[in-house]
Amino acid sequence: MYHSKIFSQMTNKHLDPGSVSVAIDIGTTKICAIAGTLDEFGRLEVISFGTVKSEGVNRGVVVNIDKTVKAIREAVEIAERGAGFKFKIVHVGIAGQHIKSLHNLGRITRVDHNSEISNTDIERLIKDMYRIPLPPGDKILHVIPQEFTVDDEKDIADPIGMAGYRLEGNFHIITGQITASKNIMRCIEKGGLEIADLTLEPIASASAVLSAEEKEAGVALIDIGGGTTDITIFKDGIIRHTAVIPFGGNIITEDIKEGCTVLADQAEKLKVKFGSALSDELIDNRKIIIPGLKGREPKAISEKNLSKIIQARVEEIFDYIMFEIKRSGFERKLQAGMVLTGGGALLKNIDHLAQFCTGMHARIGEPIEHLAHGYNKELASPMYATAVGLLKYAIDNNKQDSKYSIDMITGVEQVEKEPEMPVLANKATALANSVSKQQESEDDEEDEYKPTMEKKFMKFVRKISSYTKDFFEPTPDHEL
């Protein structure tokens, strides 16, 4: 059952709403609004959260605006009651099977090789990445620097301060459909909120469940959601590969529904309460009795048969996961193995099946890495990894916004705070983030002035046409 949690130890009179960040996780099975801030020790303290069932989202993509807006409003209202004030600006996650990734190499030649490489040089490289050709309807969401090359010196993490003629950069570029991101923004706006940032959900999940040591050693984060399974591979502390598999927990429920000939709600309950990813682990083959429909006889389902149905589908999902890991080229470089998170990671024995199918060490990722002491136990569930990660990402980045305020229910206006620099991995990543925001604002300005430019161009064309007509029009001979 979806509900909210209110933390009574944080009363409104001791809470500065200007320091609170709000994030919304729009998933296939649930929509979660979560609000929090940092405590005095720099740990993430969740004030309140609200979770409702999602009905307008399919495989991470909004397919029904009205239903999604209604769910967003309900989740936000629950979280607002728990926090004691209204939310205005929120950070939102984006995911879905439309997410793609690619690698691209950028290169610039510097005129003065004696001068130090500066932010301007890195900014030129990153801006060039936004000019690469993409399929129609796609948009760049993130540009993530991998490594740089200065002249013949390779594998440089941060080239700022070095000197050289030629600067090259390898970038991991994540793209998504423009319509998908616009639909999410439309839902947030119709819900009476403003959107501060749009973040790829696998990146947010990684910040919640992975440690710095795992990212450095090499790890594959597998986020098994309701509609999709997101894969994010880290090595040397950098995102190296991202992919989305269009299978998740819902397809397992659908298999149970078809295989056991039960209703969808019954199939979901069977999966959650009795499901196991390894049929060999079941010693007692118990019988599960399902109530009959409209006075019909009850149905008996074998627990072992149920497990076999689940195992067959989960093995298929891991086959796709291994294909993506091999395609990334990091198959033998992941010393930390894989971390399973998301609602699908709650399936019994799924970590053992992951080790059996992939040969890698696997653990269940719980989003407690950055939570302050005394956190609610429900937030420790893998299904809240994305929501907690989005909140952390929002807190790390909300200071970038020049205007960030939350209106109190009582009507007291908050003073807008001066922007501060976000907490990011390195200078190159920080620059990529700022260039991304600058690029989005330039695109918006271009759309805004496009009609004016078209009017000027048409006026120019009419003027040229008039001159051409006058030039070629025959002059009458008055002598005839």
Domain extent listing, the chain: 1-98+177-209+369-480, 100-176, 211-367
20, 165, 319, 426 from 26: Cα distances, Å: 20, 46, 27, 29
Token couple for 8: 């009574």
Strand, coil or helix: 110 = coil
pLDDT at 214 over 90: yes
AA letter at 254: E
Query: 216 versus 426: which is more confidently predicted?
Result: 216
pLDDT at 409 over 70: no
Read off φ and ψ for residue 133, nearest 5 degrees. Answer: -70, 135
CATH 3.30.1490.110 fits 100-176, yes or no: yes
Token couple for 74: 């309900």
Specify the DSSP class assigned to residue 94. Answer: E
Minimal CA–CA distance to 202: which of 172, 179, 158? 172
Specify the DSSP class assigned to residue 56. Answer: S
Q: Specify the pTM.
A: 0.80
20, 315, 336 from 191: Cα distances, Å: 19, 39, 41
CATH class of 211-367: alpha beta
Degrees, nearest 5: CA angle 119-124-126? 95
Q: How confident is the model at residue 372 (pLDDT cuts 50, 70, 90)?
A: confident
Token couple for 421: 């620099």
Specify the DSSP class assigned to residue 151. Answer: T
Residue 136 contacts by C-beta under 8 Å, 6 or more apart in sequence?
Answer: none
Mean residue pLDDT of the chain comes to 83
Q: How confident is the model at residue 370 (pLDDT cuts 50, 70, 90)?
A: confident
43, 225, 263 from 7: Cα distances, Å: 16, 27, 37
AA letter at 475: T
Tell me how far apart the alpha carbons of residues 32 and 388 are, in angstroms, rounded to a whole number: 10
Cα dihedral 98, 101, 102, 103 in deg (nearest 10): 160
Task: Please return the burial class of 299, using the count of CB atoms within 10 Å of its CB with bins 0-12, 13-18 and 19+.
Answer: middle
Token couple for 61: 């993509």
Read off φ and ψ for residue 373, nearest 5 degrees. Answer: -60, 140
pLDDT at 99 over 80: yes
Structure confidence at residue 375 (pLDDT):
81
Q: Do 1-98+177-209+369-480 and 211-367 share a fold?
A: yes
pLDDT at 423 over 50: no
Chain centre distance of CA 302: 38
pLDDT at 474 over 70: no
CATH class of 1-98+177-209+369-480: alpha beta
Element (H, E) at 272: helix 264-274
Structure confidence at residue 14 (pLDDT):
58
pLDDT at 415 over 90: no
Q: How confident is the model at residue 313 (pLDDT cuts 50, 70, 90)?
A: very high
Q: How confident is the model at residue 421 (pLDDT cuts 50, 70, 90)?
A: very low
